[in-house]
Copies of this chain bind each other. A is one copy, B any other.
Amino acid sequence: MRFKFPLMAIGLEVAMIILFGLFVQYETDQNVSQQPNSTADTSIDLYPLFQDVHVMVFAGFGFLMTFLRKYGFSSVGINLLIASLGLQWGTIVQGILHSLGEKFHIGIKNMINADFSTVTVLISFGAVLGKTSPMQLLIMTILEIAVFAVNEYLVLKIFGASDTGASMTIHAFGAYFGLAVAGILYRSSLRKGHLNEESVYHSDLFAMIGTLFLWIFWPSFNSAIAEAGNKQYRAIVNTYFSLAACVVIAYAFSSLLESHGKLNMVHVQNATLAGGVAIGTCADMEISPYFAMIVGSIAGMVSVLGFKFLTPLFTTKLRIHDTCGVHNLHGLPGVIGGLASIVAIALETAETSALAMQAAALASSIGTALVGGVITGLVLKTPIWGQPADQDCYDDSVYWEVPMRTEHNHHFGEHGSHNQLEPEA
């Protein structure tokens, strides 16, 4: 880390500033009047929805990953770093793709899309959490967002598929990209688990901050870029009820599968959100609230089953170790989202072309993610990026100054007992 990390970060930021100088402009009244058909992009109507998404990206994903007992600084801190870099890079890549290389103007909607683009990286971060260096994650940010933007362009502009809440283009994509990277970076020595790969009581509560803010604002995620009016309204209503049904079913299956019928915090932290992911693609369609609840229920059930049976199998058989279980929260529910959209469209229309395009979008998202993830994994495998040693995985102290004093000392101090670890006295 000594100089490589800071120089890489400074270099990337300088590059971003130069690219913004070359390509990015404000929307102005003149721009708008020159293009009378376009809606005025300087409106801040979408700003409350943007802020909800912004909370999800920076507080939601950040705290969701703090469940590990010694990896909270990295979870919430590196989440902030890569999302901050990612939103700049996402603005550039998405903007240039849509403007075909011309200068482009940005508004609140670009900010929402920029935040969205970072979510793919944050999901993949979950798969490799604890086993990668900040430098590797900066590189992954740059590569993944570029691949994401291309796939998104393909899905929405070329295929003309529908994916309002981005179940396929963000969630499935981010999960399979991350799994591919995790597969390439697999460490056999960690196969049987790691001393630090556990939660403690309070780290599980910190993670619930992330879970709850993600859960609460998910209707905004799925509706933020929906067409204003009925579609946006339906995206909100469908997501609200899908998530509620998902929670009840996820709790039921968590209890059903654990010994003595106890609830498991891993399921509560993650599977409760699967309903938000799975309803994404068809959130704005006229599917009826009860259909949204069925989709949410299936997602909650599948997600818990995935944590219970698939994740251990992935680690031992496929040699893919998925730290946060993003396959169960984003991967499988993302696929369910794609399939649900096919069902929803099939119920409405006889045209098979629309169905085919949804299927193509799903296949493209997973395929691009796997290829991009393997290539990214190979780049990250080069042993020059300050990777943590096996025994240092899941431990903040490799990359962070960590307080020496402990909780235990703290309170013992209060009771006046002598404490040998205290540096002054």
Spell out A's residues near B (CB within 8 Å). 1-3, 5-7, 9-10, 12-13, 16-18, 20-21, 24-29, 42-44, 47-49, 51-52, 54-55, 58-59, 62-63, 66, 69-70, 72-73, 76-77, 80-81, 84-85, 87-88, 106-108, 111, 134, 192-193, 195, 198-202, 204-206, 208-209, 212-213, 215-217, 220, 223, 229-230, 232-234, 236-237, 240-241, 243-245, 247-249, 251-253, 255-256, 258, 260-265, 268, 272, 286, 288-290, 293-294, 297, 397, 399-403, 405-415, 421-422, 424-425
Contacts and interface: CB of A to CB of B under 8 A. Distances in A.
Contacts of A413: 195
A208 to B, nearest CB: 5
Contact of A268 (B17, B77, B260): B77
A88 B244 contact: yes
Contact of A403 (B9, B29, B199): B199
Contacts of A410: 69-70, 200-201, 406-407
A110 to B, nearest CB: 9
A391 to B, nearest CB: 12
Nearest to A424: B195
Given A9-B249, A42-B233, A212-B76, A407 B202 contact: yes
A289 B55 CA distance: 22
A11 to B, nearest CB: 9
B1 A233 contact: no
Contacts of A233: 26-27, 42-44, 107-108
The 10 A-B pairs of least Cβ separation, nearest first, read A406-B411, A1-B261, A84-B247, A9-B252, A21-B290, A20-B290, A6-B252, A6-B256, A2-B261, A42-B233
A209 B209 CA distance: 9
A240 to B, nearest CB: 6
26 contacts: A2-B260, A3-B261, A5-B261, A6-B261, A10-B252, A17-B245, A20-B241, A26-B233, A43-B233, A47-B48, A54-B216, A62-B212, A80-B215, A84-B247, A108-B233, A111-B240, A134-B251, A195-B422, A195-B424, A198-B403, A199-B403, A263-B399, A406-B407, A406-B408, A406-B412, A406-B415
